[in-house]
Amino acid sequence: MEDSSTRDRIRALVREVLDKAVPAEEAGGGGQTAPPSTPGRFIDIAPTSTTSADSNVTRDESSKVVITEADVRGLEPGAVLRIAEGARLTPLAADIIKEKKIELVRRVPRRGSQTSRMIAVGADHGGFKMKEELKGFLGEAGHRVRDFGTNSEDAVDYPDFAHPVARAVADGTVDVGIIIDGAGVGSAITANKVPGVRAAACYSVAVARNSREHNDANVLTLGSKTITSREMREIVDAWLATDISEDRHRKRVSKIEAIERQYQR
């Protein structure tokens, strides 16, 4: 206990010296300012334990540009943490990662609709026809599709198809998911029960762009009875072409993730 207390005091002293030596506005490099509520000193290179593996991930923090002490404090020794390709570590976060031998997996983002993605799709009977059209549209755009059904217009229950799509997104076996039912709401509610999923029911191009840029939505749900085929194509195209870009939005998404973790056991 005494050794731990001494180590914490030394770390605090080192951080204090570093903060005084490097102005906060210079910490991000390249003229960028550091995000609010984070220390003014960052470590750009991940520890040597970083690998390119993308399985058995304990926690996904790949929506964040800065990994802080709060993001790693609760992880067990030997845990696997997924972070963004360009994410930086605060000094204390780096210390904890090294001490607990936490493995870092850097996730390389795929940006823009021109980049081929693996997309999970699913629908109930009400969304079946539009799903089939969607698959053709995605294929023409160069994307790969994993279809979770349904495969006819016979009556089925939307949770049975929204859940596996959401699970595939959360597991990282696909990049994003698109689910279609009559209104798009039931599938969104179902998908959002899966930890790590941020599903958005979108009924316009503007909402689709907002859900990605502001909320980093990774699942799109559509209502076949609320939009036309043309609108579906426009919404999907806009959604895939938009990425979260500003730190202020990332910070808010991080708060959503922190709330989610409070209810995970």
Write the pLDDT tens digit of every residue in 82-125. Answer: 786 667 788 888 889 888 888 888 765 444 445 788 999 999 99
Confidence at residue 32, expressed as pLDDT on a 0 to 100 scale = 37
| Ordered domains of the chain (ranges, CATH) | 2-109 (no CATH), 118-241 (3.40.1400.10)
State the chain's mean pLDDT as an integer. 80
Pairing status of strand 59-61 against strand 176-181: unpaired
Tokens of 233: 């194509």
Active site residue 163: no
- Judge whether residue 166 has pLDDT over 50: yes
Per-residue pLDDT, averaged over 220-236, amounts to 96
- Judge whether residue 224 has pLDDT over 80: yes
Residues 188-197 have pLDDT tens digits of 999 999 999 9
Confidence at residue 153, expressed as pLDDT on a 0 to 100 scale = 96
What three-state secondary structure class fits 149? coil
- Judge whether residue 127 has pLDDT over 70: yes
- Nearest CA-CA partner of 131 in 229, 202, 219, 218: 229
Q: Work out the pLDDT band at 65, boundaries 50, 70, 90.
A: low
| Confidence (pTM) | 0.60
Per-residue pLDDT, averaged over 18-32, amounts to 39
**CA angle 207-213-216, nearest 5°?**
100
Per-residue pLDDT, averaged over 6-18, amounts to 59
